[in-house]
Structure 1
Amino acid sequence: MVASAVLLAGLPTYAAPAKVDPPSVDLTLGPGGSATLTKKVTTPIIPPNPDIVLLGDTTGSMIDVLAGVAANAEAIAGQVMDTQPTAQFAVAQYKHHNDGALAFSVNQSLTGSVGAVHAATQEWVGQAEGGGIPASDFVNALYQVASGAIAFRPDSSRIVAWFGDSHSEDPSLGHTMGQAIAALKAKDIRVIAVPIAGTDGGGLDSLGQASAITSQTGGVMMPGTSPGAVAQAILDGLENLDATVTHQQVDCAPQLTTSLSPASKAVPSGQAVEFTETIGVKEGAKPGTYHCKAKFLVNGAQHDLVQTITVRVPGVVVHDVLTYEGKTVKMPVKLDKASTTPITVHYKTVDGTATAGSDYKAAEGDLTFTPGQLAKQIQLQILPDRDYEEGKETFGVEFTQGGTVIATAKVTIKEHNGGSCGASAIRLLDKDVVAAGSGKHGCDTDSSSVAAKKLGAGPVAVQVSAVSAKTGKGASSTSVGSVKITVLGQVVEIGAIESHATAACGTGKPSAGSRVGSVRINGSEVEVGSGPVTIPLPAGKLKLNSTTTTADSVTRRAVTLDTVLTDLVIGESRAGCVK
């Protein structure tokens, strides 16, 4: 009589899902910089993409065992597929060579159908006979599995889950145990052996054969198991296979250098391994964003264990500057993003129409930004010129890393002409949009104008029309036809705006004035007059006709919008006398 089957308990629920931690890395490094990271890979409790061969001893002494496994075959396959949905199963059996054609046979080739697996194991029960000799021919069966009887998928984790109750002939149908082990290893097939206790087969590992096969193939030897517990022992064996994790780096930008250590690491299934990776940026790499991937394989099989790496190389931000003879220029040098490692930038002046030694003092050196630092500055000495030179002269400053030019700036030297004038019709966030003159030295004739322009910053949107700025002959002036400012739901409409400033150097103090035609806020007229007015707004303050004076200069601003996030100036004229 066949013993009633014992339903298996199933896979444990405590195992963490397979993953890479962290799944992505974002670094900011300069050329020549590097960072060392720790990658933690949690392995799957069941090897990825498994091809599992259920190999059973179907001699007569195994009838109760076969009935138990067959009753649980669908549960075994289903529970494995819950963890690894791409799993496939094959079913094969072996007896003694005296049993002729049934000494080894394949009941079911690899399939993803749990129903087909169940049907194949039911064939075992119907064919459970033969044997009668305290030996079998599992050596031949394992050799055949590794030598083409099962068509394993190229990228699969290959496993034989084998159970029996007697040792094997050796040689077995012409194949030695050494040949069988060699064939299994050549195909990267690991063997789980489940010895059956309590039958008259004499013991699967009575000659140490099963222990040798499992140890040399990287498999696992389960403890002696009662006939009703074989199905659970098969699942337990699948979750106790060692997981060997290897890695490869793919799609890496040539500007990056990467290394991972160690090359491989083995842990029991479901446990985590750690790797140390060093990521570097080659000298001379230009500013930009570069990518790489670290792909991890478990027992040589893919499992979507990929970590993405993003490396950002900061760029250098510099701006052209305007200066005058005899002055010292402070040129800001900034990184567009902070680095996690020190960054060194080399700078060097380069002649243009201005020449080192006669117009400026040559300069060269290194700027080193410490981690997190964004801004530094260099000083450039402009030499005085005894002779008046019409127009402007220029020289450049080159910024390099590893010999690669990554930024340039131009220095323009202007001749003094006795006064200082500047006109800024529109300025937003300290950036002149429509302007003339330097505002520091020189009252050369200059002008700038636009018919209309839209601009904005943060919560502020601005529309202007008929905009102009002029300097010349010791004076500056601006005019704006109309202005519309939208800030946090409020609409400020301003009519014609004019401002002017004059520097009568040597004959009187600088003077300035401005006029604001009209002001409407959300459609309501606001009286402004010609004097200074401050109008509170929810977003800040609107100031009209403000004046700043010193002993030798004056600045008149027709309109100023002052908010926490944005400063807007419309109609600024400046004039002064150079000492």
Structure 2
Amino acid sequence: MNLIFSFKIFASLLGLVGTSARLAGRVAHNAQHVATRDLKLSPILFEATLFLGETASVSKRVTTPAIPQNLEFCLLSDATGSFIDDQANLRAAASGIAKRITAASPGALFGYAAFKDTGRKDDFVYSLRQTLTTDIKAWLTAINDLRPYGGGDTQDAQWDGIACAVDIKECPTDSEYYSDEDCGFTSSDTSRKVLVVTTDAPFSKDKDIQNNLESTTAALVDNGVVLIGLKAKGAGKELDYLAKATGGSIIPLSPDGRNVADAILMGLARLPTTVVPDPHCDDLIVTFDPSSVTVISGKIANFGESIEVKDDPSLRGTVVTCTVDFLNNDVSIGTQTISITVNDWCPTTVLDSPTERLGVNRWALLNEGDTDFETVEPKKGFDVGPGKAFGVGPGKEFTIAGTHGCSCAQIIEICGYGKGHLKFGCSISVMEAFSMETPMCEEGGGLVPAFPDV
């Protein structure tokens, strides 16, 4: 509390503190805040001075990561002979792809699978090469080991390959052309599951292919998997339909797949991503409108933040803090700190200066830096009975904390008391009334709230 020595000036200049207009002006003044900003979260620090029950409004900007957090990324490659050049470029680029993904989304899972066709020796509709893992070396080995060949017609087994990669239960049960495991997408509701499919051919309509647009779309949607299609010349429109149905995108591949790294990263950067504020606050009520925001990765999510001090009298005169994590797929991408100074009823305490003297059994705050009120005890007189003596003080003590930050001078102004208190200090009954949990003023032989409009 800042102590400002000037009772007379205070008494002459201060208006009626108990009125709504006065309180509204004080609220407006004290609601000023300090906000510190950074590149990802703005503001990252919010500071304000508020009364109990008062609310501050903050405009919040959260810049999302370039790639969603908690990423589960499975690459499904065309393993037919026409993709030999593309696979060579994928092998060359794979290490860089992994580094860039893990830099943007630490802990990302990597999987790898392939599809070909049916009807020829060594054909397969789906082959798992590496289940989802954080082991980048294992993922790179799987890519390096695949050598495309075969696939003699112009259509391939993408329908079954995609469905099998997402959910092995969707694979043909009577076929010899598939592996017995899918990519291994988790059941987590807080991860971003992505299947990236490369191809340069239309989807097969062969009788050995079990899945179609409807069943493959259902497999993707039911398992929460977004499809990103990397299409080289010769591919049909099927990937476009699947990408649109799952919130994914289509990225063109060059004839030899030389742009495969950029294409994969571009597709991941176009994914929708959701930010959810997660407050950790006990003494503040912190809410957001809207409660979550979905944007394209790397874009800004905007929130309206409301910060309210709980109506708890014990908080007056304290500083309360809390934090808010902004979650992307259950991973914090930024933490805001909130620091609120909760006003006493008298945020700025003035010193008392009785106009005549400090009276007997009267109370005043006299010295800068003091937190205890001073009084003058009566002189000791004669005994009037067992354990009693005329003139013995009441043994009371009053502190600035007990009077909610208000000195005697301020209590007089707030309650509208007469000149006697100005001359000699506040009486015991005045001090006791104002020191209640809800400050009270004496009026008409009873007590009334000191701040009826708050």
Q: TM-score range by the shorter chain?
A: 0.5 to 0.7
Q: Would you say the 8 A contact 1:36–1:279 is kept in 2?
A: yes
1:72-110, Cα deviation, whole Å (9 max, x unpaired): 212211222233332221110011233577210110112
Structure 1 residues 249, 114: closer, same or farther in 2, change over 3 A? closer
1:156-200, Cα deviation, whole Å (9 max, x unpaired): 322222110112236874233223222222333222111012xxx
Q: Would you say the 8 A contact 1:324–1:382 is kept in 2?
A: no
Tell me whether 1:280 sits opposite 2:317 in the alignment. Answer: no
* Aligned residue type for 1:190: V
**Within 5 Å, which residues of 2 pair with 1:232-251?**
232-251=261-280
Normalising to structure 1: TM-score of the pair? 0.51
Q: CA deviation at 1:133?
A: 2.1
Q: CA deviation at 1:24?
A: 2.6
- Partner Cα distance (2:211, 2:243) in 1: 18
* Aligned residue type for 2:412: I
Picking from 139, 143, 159, the partner of 1:121 is: 143
Tell me whether 1:146 sits opposite 2:166 in the alignment. Answer: yes
Q: Would you say the 8 A contact 1:331–1:377 is kept in 2?
A: no
Task: Name the residue aligned to 1:107.
Answer: 129
- Partner Cα distance (2:253, 2:427) in 1: 94
- Partner Cα distance (1:262, 1:96) in 2: 47
1:471-528, Cα deviation, whole Å (9 max, x unpaired): xxxxxxxxxxxxxxxxxxxxxxxxxxxxxxxxxxxxxxxxxxxxxxxxxxxxxxxxxx
Picking from 333, 352, 369, the partner of 1:304 is: 333
Picking from 277, 285, 292, the partner of 1:264 is: 292
1:292-338, Cα deviation, whole Å (9 max, x unpaired): 4333233x34143232323332234679998449x9x9989x9xxxx
Q: CA deviation at 1:69?
A: 0.8
Tell me whether 1:34 sits opposite 2:34 in the alignment. Answer: no
Q: CA deviation at 1:262?
A: 2.5
Q: Which runs of 5+ in 1 are unaligned?
A: 1-16, 198-202, 335-368, 370-374, 385-391, 411-579
Normalising to structure 2: TM-score of the pair? 0.64
- Partner Cα distance (1:172, 1:406) in 2: 81
1:341-363, Cα deviation, whole Å (9 max, x unpaired): xxxxxxxxxxxxxxxxxxxxxxx
- Partner Cα distance (2:91, 2:420) in 1: 97
Q: Which has more radius of gyration?
A: 1
Task: Name the residue aligned to 1:131.
Answer: 151
Structure 1 residues 47, 40: closer, same or farther in 2, change over 3 A? same
* Aligned residue type for 2:153: I
Structure 1 residues 248, 240: closer, same or farther in 2, change over 3 A? closer
SS across alignment from 1:102: coil
Task: Name the residue aligned to 2:22.
Answer: none
* Aligned residue type for 1:41: V
1:449-469, Cα deviation, whole Å (9 max, x unpaired): xxxxxxxxxxxxxxxxxxxxx
Task: Name the residue aligned to 1:574.
Answer: none
* Aligned residue type for 1:108: Q
1:267-310, Cα deviation, whole Å (9 max, x unpaired): 33222222111111233453234344333233x34143232323
Q: Would you say the 8 A contact 2:165–2:183 is kept in 1?
A: yes
Task: Name the residue aligned to 1:190.
Answer: 226
SS across alignment from 1:184: helix
Q: Would you say the 8 A contact 1:220–1:237 is kept in 2?
A: no
* Aligned residue type for 2:418: Q
Higher helix share: 2
Task: Name the residue aligned to 1:156.
Answer: 191
Higher strand share: 1
**Within 5 Å, which residues of 2 pair with 1:398-437?**
398-399=433-434, 405=437
**Within 5 Å, which residues of 2 pair with 1:53-452?**
53-98=74-119, 102-125=124-147, 128-147=148-167, 149-153=182-186, 154=188, 155-169=190-204, 173-197=209-233, 203-204=234-235, 206=236, 208-253=237-282, 255-287=283-315, 288-298=318-328, 300-316=329-345, 323-324=358-359, 376=410, 378-379=412-413, 380-381=417-418, 394-397=428-431, 398-399=433-434, 405=437
- Partner Cα distance (1:28, 1:186) in 2: 49
Structure 1 residues 105, 175: closer, same or farther in 2, change over 3 A? same
- Partner Cα distance (2:103, 2:57) in 1: 36
Q: CA deviation at 1:33?
A: 0.8
- Partner Cα distance (1:270, 1:157) in 2: 15
SS across alignment from 2:202: coil
Structure 1 residues 179, 84: closer, same or farther in 2, change over 3 A? same
Q: Highest relative contact order (Cα 8 Å, sep 6+), 1 or 2?
A: 2
